[in-house]
Each structure stands twice: as structure tokens, then as C-alpha cells.
Chains A and B, each alone.
Chain A
Amino acid sequence: MNGAWVTFRKEMLSYCTSPVSWIIAVVFYLWRGWEMTLVAEQFSYYRGDQDLFPASTYSLGSTFLMVMLVPGILTMRCFAEERRSGSIETLMTAPVRDGEVVFGKWLAAAAFFALLWLPSVFVLQVLQLAPFFGADLAFGPVFAAYLGMFLLSGMLLAFGCFASSLTDNVLLAAVLAMLFNFALMRLPQQLGAQLGEVGQNYYVRELLDKLDVMRNFTEWFARGLVDTSQIAFYCGGVLFFLFLTTVSLSSRRIA
């Protein structure tokens, strides 16, 4: 796994020195902070149930930004940029397995994504202090929600890697990944509505249920419920797309 670890470190360095990552971080923190302040104000004003506060932050616009747009932007350069600049040639002729390179790149994207997210946990910590709520929030559901968020994003990032391996156009890779994210968020519900009465098409319905990431989120993770089948589903998704990425890269050697 030396190749994966070396790739991971190099990619992390690239993320940390790239202006795009800093712009994403600044936009996200400002937007998230502003939205959370507004929600906290509303809760204080209407004396809302504070334990519902974390759950109410999941559907904010900044979450949408992070889940819909950011995975595609983080992974768009992974392979498309290497292909465009030709550095894919030196990368693929180095004595490392394709799979190690793919895994290293994905892991770096996932780790950087986690770095972007984690400060919003501290925001919740801060909100427990006196001028805001002055009371403890239940952190169990928060951690379940973050776990769900990382699993989902892991899968989206893996798809982003795959999209990036298909083209040498960075923008196209990002758009492909965003379209996929959008479809994953909207299509299962739309298709589920077309299925007719409950009880018909049992397996299709089950599959769509698993694919319905929005519902997984609102009905399970956000309530603090962690279902192993969902963990298996997202991990399977990650492995599936990383496998496709590896195949896409290796196809040059198999041809």
C-alpha cells in the first residue's frame, strides 16, 4: 500500500495548497455560520426543542452545497488534470498498481472533505454556550448524522474519481459528478412515486429505498439511527466506483 500512502500525501498537499480548496472552505464556513446563526436565533425566539436543532441544520443550503457541488469540485482534477497535462504517463509508468493510485486519491479527497466538515461540529459546541442556548445538545444524533454524511460523500467522491478518469476535461468531470449527485438525490423518490401501490414491486422498492439518500438521511442518520445495511450499501458504493475508476485507468493496458 506504499503507492496509496504516497499518493494520499501528495494529494493532501495539493488540496492544502490549491486556492480552489481555500475558496470552498471560506465560502462554506461563512455561509454555514450565517445559516446556523439564523436557525439558532429562531430556536431561541420560538423556544424550540433544542434537541431538534442539529437535525434542522441538515437541510440548510450549505449542506446542499457540500453534498451536491463540493465532491465533484474536489475530485474533478484527480485524473482529468493528470491526463490533460500528460503526467498520467509518468504516474502510470511508475512501479505502482493502478488501484493504489486510485485509492490514495480517493482517500485524500475524503480526508479533505472531512476536514472541511468537522469545524461545523465545533460550531454546535459553541452554540451550547450561554448567549445562545446555554444548555447541552444531544450529540449522539449529530455523530450519527456526520457518519451518514461521510458515507454518502465517500460514495459521491468515489463517483467523482470515476468521472474524472473518463475525460481529460476538468470541467466536464465536475459537471458529470454533479449530475450524478443530483440524480441520486432526486431520482429514487421520483421513481418510487411511479411504482404504484405499496406491496407491489417489493425488491425494486427496497432497492430504491436504499438508493434514496435523502430519506436515509432524514429518517435514519439524522435521528441517530445507524443501520448496518446502509453502511454496507455506501461502502459497497465506494468500492464499486473505485473499482470502475481502476478499470477505466487500466483499460489503456488491457486494450
Chain B
Amino acid sequence: MIRVRDLSKRFGPTVAVDQISFDVTRGEVVGFLGPNGAGKTTTIRVLCGYHPATSGTATIAGHDVSTDSLAARRQIGYLPENVPIYPDLRVIEYLRYRASLKGVPARERRAAVARAMAKAGIEEVARKLCGHVSRGYRQRVGLADALVANPPILILDEPTSGLDPNQRRRIKQVVRDLAAEHTILFSSHILTEVEDVSTRILVIHRGRLRADGPPQDLVAHSAARHLRVVAACAVDRLADLLAGVAGLTVARRSPLAPAVGAVEAAVAAGSDPSAEVGERLLRAGIAVHELRLVLPTLEEYFHLMTEGSDRDEERRLADDAVAGGAA
């Protein structure tokens, strides 16, 4: 439904989005994850036809967003980050206006507006002025606006930002309910939300796509996993034993008792040496109290993908500078 290829967007010298490519297929709920300023909103705006891409292509249900923008926009229901609504219109008037602007035929309009209000749960504020509704309702009015023409694709930019926990829960529930009928791409920097709702996540940082996959898979194959081993032997012996296993780097050793040691070792991405470790311990005749591959939480993973990669990059730049100075 959404296909993005080598998409870049520059604002003058600033590169907001740098050559990202991804697909969203029908029926998926994709979380677009990244810290503030990572390029999420810019990517979404390009997809919705608000900004032109500097290079690369994006198609929505087969329509190119730059050459066939009108047809592409017909396929999308878009909820911007700060929901802008006209304060002098009533909620129902605003939705009727948006429905007619989106080409919902006059005889279906009343039903379409009622359906969108029911889905977003805003029937009780229908007669209120848009300027007088609370932030939570405002967000849901925006959501009803995105839904009113019943588009196949929903693009939601930070749908829960600035909401209290109850409102956030409510929006999450709405998004979950909508997943049955719509393909959804939604951005967020709150991990639990993405984890709860989405079937797949895209991690974007500094305009580049850092990861793409189901949340559990990303975590299971990430470099932030570690192996925890507790065995009945001196901690140094245990550490020596583990150091010999390929793909393991001993990170922390702690003697629990005179004859029981605990060692935590980082596991290289993509490998799972727990079976080998178990076998070695068995061969050495050491009783194993605990042998466990500890997966990072999505939060730790996110930190590693963003902050961690920043540190790597800074180190590389510093090395380059040193090398340059030496030359």
C-alpha cells in the first residue's frame, strides 16, 4: 500500500530524511519510531503530499505522491501532530466540511460523519465549538477527520503526544480497532505504544532508517542481548570458560558465594551461543544454576539504535579527525 524508495528530503543544507526505503503492505500496523527531530514528520509529510521529496519516490496504493498527488491523497487519512482545527466551527460542522472537501457524496455525508464520530468516540462533543474541546478530544476530532472519507490508509503523526495516560489508552484502543479495516502507519517516540499496537516497527534516526521488522524479532536479533550464566565454580574460571566461546564478550563478573560465580556476557548480533556454553559447562563438570539469554526491552534497543549509534558515529568522526591531524 505504501512504497518508499530512496526517499530524501533536504531543507537547504539540512538533510531531514536521507535515502530511506520501506514498504507497508495491506492490513499492517506499522510504528514509525524515532527520537524527536529524527525525520518522522518530514517523511509523513512527503507521503501525504505536503512536502515534495528532494529525491527518491513514494507511492500510495500505486499512485506516485508527486506526479499523481490528488489520487494518492484520496487514499490517505492523515492526522497531523498538532491537530489544527477551526476554532469557530462546531465539531460536527467541521467534520461535515472536511467530508465534503474530501469528496464524500452529499447523501452519504451524514452517515460518514456519524460513523467517523462513533469510531473516534466523540459523539458527546459533536455540538461543541472546536475551540472549546479538550486536547484529548481535539486529537480524536482529528482522528475522526482522518477517518471520515473511509480511506484505506491511515497516517497518524504522534497520535498520542501531549495526552494523559487515560486518553492515550483510549487512542491506542481506537487504533487497535481500526487495524481491522485500515492499513496504518503511525509515528511515535513512546516505545510502549508502538510495542502494544504495531505489527512492525521502523526505527528512524537522523533521517536514516536504522531498523525494520516486528518488534520481537528486532529485539531478539539485536546486539543488546546478553547471556547470564550462574554456575557452581569460581567466577574467574567461569569467565575464562566463556571467553573461549565465539560471539561472547564477558562484560561483568560477580562472585555470589565462594563456590558460585555469575557472569554476564554480551552476545554478538545474530548468534545464540547458549547451547554451546551449556555443553562446555557440562563437559567441565560444572553444575549450572542459571543459563539465560536476556533480551533487551524495546526501550534498551531503541536507546542502542539511536544514542548508541550516535556515540559510534562521534567516535568515528573523532578518529577521522585524529587520523587527519596525524597526516
Contacts and interface: CB of A to CB of B under 8 A. Distances in A.
Interface of A: 2-3, 6-7, 9-10, 13-14, 17-18, 85-97, 252-255
Contacts of A3: 101
A87 B101 contact: no
Interface string B48-77: 111110000000000000100111011010
B70 A252 contact: no
A3 B74 CA distance: 13
A10 B99 CA distance: 12
Interface in B110-134: none
Given A3-B101, A252-B50, A255-B52, A93 B84 contact: no
Nearest to A18: B88
B78 interface: yes
B80 interface: yes
B271 interface: no
Contacts of A95: 70-71, 73-74, 102-103
A84 B144 CA distance: 23
A87 B84 contact: yes
A2 B80 contact: no
A90 B94 CA distance: 12
Contacts of A87: 84-86
Contacts of B85: 87
Contact of A253 (B69, B89, B93, B97): B69
Contacts of B66: 253
B82 interface: yes
A97 B80 contact: no
A6 B78 contact: no
B18 interface: no
A74 to B, nearest CB: 16
A90 B80 contact: yes
B158 interface: no
B145 interface: yes
Nearest to B72: A95
Contact of A89 (B84, B86, B100): B84
B314 to A, nearest CB: 32
A93 B70 contact: no
Contacts of B88: 14, 17-18
A2 B145 contact: no
A93 B100 contact: no
Helix, strand, loop or mixed for chain A's interface? helix
Contacts of A90: 78, 80, 84, 98, 142, 145
8 contacts: A6-B97, A10-B101, A86-B82, A92-B49, A93-B50, A95-B73, A95-B74, A95-B102
Nearest to A14: B88
A94 B98 contact: yes
Contacts of A255: 51-52
Contacts of A86: 80, 82, 84
Contacts of A96: 70, 101
A4 to B, nearest CB: 11
A90 B84 CA distance: 7
Contacts of B70: 95-97
A93 B52 contact: no
Contacts of B102: 94-95
Contacts of B74: 95
A89 B101 contact: no
B101 A254 contact: no
Nearest to B10: A255
Contacts of B142: 90
A93 B52 CA distance: 12
Interface in B16-50: 45, 48-50
A85 B71 CA distance: 26
A253 B101 contact: no
9 pairs of A and B residues whose beta carbons are closest in the complex: A86-B84, A87-B84, A95-B73, A93-B48, A95-B74, A6-B100, A6-B101, A85-B84, A94-B101
A86 B88 CA distance: 15
A254 B69 CA distance: 12
Contacts of B145: 90
B40 to A, nearest CB: 15
A208 B315 CA distance: 67
A10 B96 CA distance: 10
Contacts of B86: 14, 85, 87
B51 A252 contact: yes
Given A10-B89, A87-B84, A92-B50, 6 more contacts: A85-B84, A90-B145, A93-B76, A94-B101, A253-B69, A254-B52
- Which among B66, B73, B101 has the highest number of chain A CB atoms within 10 Å? B101
A253 B85 CA distance: 22
A255 B52 CA distance: 7
A96 B66 CA distance: 14
Nearest to A91: B101
B97 A10 contact: yes
A97 B84 CA distance: 20
B101 A7 contact: yes
